[in-house]
A and B are shown apart, each in its own frame.
Chain A
């Protein structure tokens, strides 16, 4: 059985602080009731649920957070923010995670590194969206 190793060092604490700074939310306010995930219309499209993503931020699990598709599936409809019993603006948190990914250049797409074969298959709009990521 493999165990996920939890660490609460500088790297983890910096990550949590940055997310809190960008979003203006207290990540520790979340008590994991799951109401955000329960009301999210895209929950079934997310690889991990919204509350799980928040829990991973609480644990400083940066890699897992950035690898998730949750924040990218979020359409910022604000249902979660309106319903959160702890008054967390969950959509702002999702936005902060997206913002953090961009600032970290996480999974940055470099056009020259995409194979010609893949470029042929990719729809143009995908490439355009990708460039737009940086422009906000």
Chain B
């Protein structure tokens, strides 16, 4: 065995705190070391050439690099080994930068620490074995969970690239929250007008299988080879027979609150969510319909010419095989009734941002005339309260919901466009307009439309006769202020949707403190998750505006396509390996595995059925949790075997 040791100066990053020459001299005395060198930047091209030459001339068969974290350059040096015909796993990297030079300033002690780390690495390298990278096939289909704008965009991108894509949406129509918005900032284009063409595209695309009113109930498998079970709930209306004639609606005796209009208008038990809904089909609300078990009323069925109504429709389970999954499960508004002092739910003219979107929308309950819910009059003074729920770590949401400054500004501006002589007052803490043309939009609202901005929070609101008394602070004048308003709009914060929480737990995705799904890296892997093959798009990872959501979704689609476009995937060689003779099938390892990669299976051995652990190498991330948990020492982490780790510890224990 011949080991080559390469010590990196990393400019002065390492050399200033570690005596690298001394280290190289000491390394020459370590067992099996053939050559030990110092170089300014080992990762550089000449540095790599140096290693390559040594491998060729000195016939090295193990390489130890003492430099930065393996997170940075392990792939670089593995490629060097592969180029020279060596197995990429006979490489050991010692992190003498982050673990030594950057955290110590005593050069003598730093050198001693680096030497013991290096010695451990050399001893470990002597025990290394070449490892094999296995290959698995890929099912070139995708699953997108959530049919809001993120899910729509991701599905369209994947389908356009030629991948069969299943889009699963929990409600009866795709479109998500964006379909409820009236206009979008900062351009004020009509939300439905820019969204509905994409919804229609989804419906028409030959590569998209749209499953509305459906939920993902089970996901098995691993990157490239997921098996998914989807529950499709009954609409009780046969979509292929329904002609959308609307004859069923007027005869239905049941009146319900219309979810699309935030409960501000009525709908029947048989209904279509809104005219542009996709899939365009009526459905029956099983919670209020009088025809579904027991059959008390069948008025809709009686009038339905094409006989499209089937009260006996049952849920069905659809199974799909996919190679990648995109989670686009979105947000929901913070329940602002939690903020007691703002009176939502008790004062009729205190409404949420989403309520206001429907009131101002031409397709909404008031046909686009702004009216107070209590008396239907056009409000003359409207107060917009920013940060309703957001930036309140003590009781509500600790974070900034990012879009509220802009949408509250848009609301005020829309109000002024519709009620010219009205007064729009925004109470804000800070105005956050970080986005293309956003600051200009905010300035336009103030400058051209005389929207008044008062810096300070509203403390509380009261019903005072037919008006609302708003009490707040103006921190610019240092005064407390009060005024009478006809309508108060709370710029509601965003929180992870119930669906986001459910899917995160179903897929074992890690979530942050606020319940949003955690990205693999907040900056450099914003659409990846910790689980290979599962990506995330849109507000499931945190509040986002529409442009950001759309680009996020396209990013997730392209990351997913990176997997789907391959015939086979290479799997890291550093996976867990079970010694079936030692394994007693206790299942501790399966419990310890954060990636659900271990299953306890029964095998036939010597004529007996024995329970042993089985590692799915495609799902194993090589974290070593199972090896640490195993009481019998039956699991070894390839590349980090117990003997290798003991050699490392032995070197660190030497004086």
Contacts and interface: CB of A to CB of B under 8 A. Distances in A.
Interface string B441-453: 0010011001111
Interface stretch (B149-157, B323-331, B469-477): B469-477
Interface of B: 381, 423, 425, 431, 443, 446-447, 450-455, 471, 474, 476-477, 479-483
Contact of A3 (B450, B454, B481): B481
A4 B447 contact: no
7 contacts: A2-B480, A3-B482, A4-B479, A7-B483, A8-B483, A29-B446, A52-B477
B481 A4 contact: yes
A28 B450 contact: yes
Nearest to A2: B480
A3 B471 contact: yes
A31 to B, nearest CB: 7
Nearest to B383: A6
Interface residues of A, number: 21
A69 interface: no
What 3 pairs between A and B have smallest CB-CB spacing? A3-B482, A8-B423, A6-B483
Contact of A4 (B446, B455, B474): B474
Given A5-B482, A31-B453, A52-B476, 8 more contacts: A4-B480, A4-B481, A6-B481, A6-B483, A7-B483, A28-B452, A32-B455, A59-B474
Contacts of A52: 476-477
A55 interface: yes
Nearest to A26: B447
B481 A51 contact: no
A55 B447 contact: no
Interface string A34-54: 000000000000001001100
A59 B452 CA distance: 8
A103 B451 CA distance: 28
B300 to A, nearest CB: 50
Contacts of B452: 8, 28, 58-59
B405 to A, nearest CB: 13
A31 B444 CA distance: 11
Contacts of B431: 31
Interface of A, secondary structure class, is loop
Contact of A8 (B381, B443, B447, B474): B381
B606 to A, nearest CB: 82
Given A6-B482, A58-B452, A32 B446 contact: no
Contacts of A31: 431, 443, 446, 453
Given A8-B423, A32-B455, A58-B452, A1 B480 contact: yes
A56 B477 contact: yes
Contacts of B446: 28-29, 31
Given A3-B482, A6-B483, A29 B476 contact: no
Interface in A86-108: 86
B483 A5 contact: yes
A55 B476 contact: yes
A44 B381 CA distance: 36
Contacts of B425: 6, 8
Most chain B CB atoms below 10 A, which of A1, A29, A31, A48: A31
Most chain B CB atoms below 10 A, which of A1, A26, A28, A51: A28
Contacts of A32: 453, 455, 476
Nearest to A59: B452
A4 B443 contact: no
Interface in A2-21: 2-8
A55 B311 CA distance: 63
Most chain B CB atoms below 10 A, which of A2, A3, A29, A32: A3
Contacts of A26: 447
Contacts of A59: 452, 454, 474
A91 B451 CA distance: 23
Nearest to A10: B421
Given A4-B482, A6-B481, A31-B453, A51 B447 contact: no
B383 to A, nearest CB: 10
A4 B476 CA distance: 13
A48 B452 CA distance: 20
A1 B423 CA distance: 26
Nearest to B482: A3
A28 B471 CA distance: 23
Given A4-B480, A6-B482, A8-B423, A28 B447 contact: yes
A58 B454 CA distance: 10
Nearest to B471: A3
Nearest to A55: B476
A38 to B, nearest CB: 14
A5 B482 CA distance: 5
A77 B451 CA distance: 30
Contacts of A2: 480
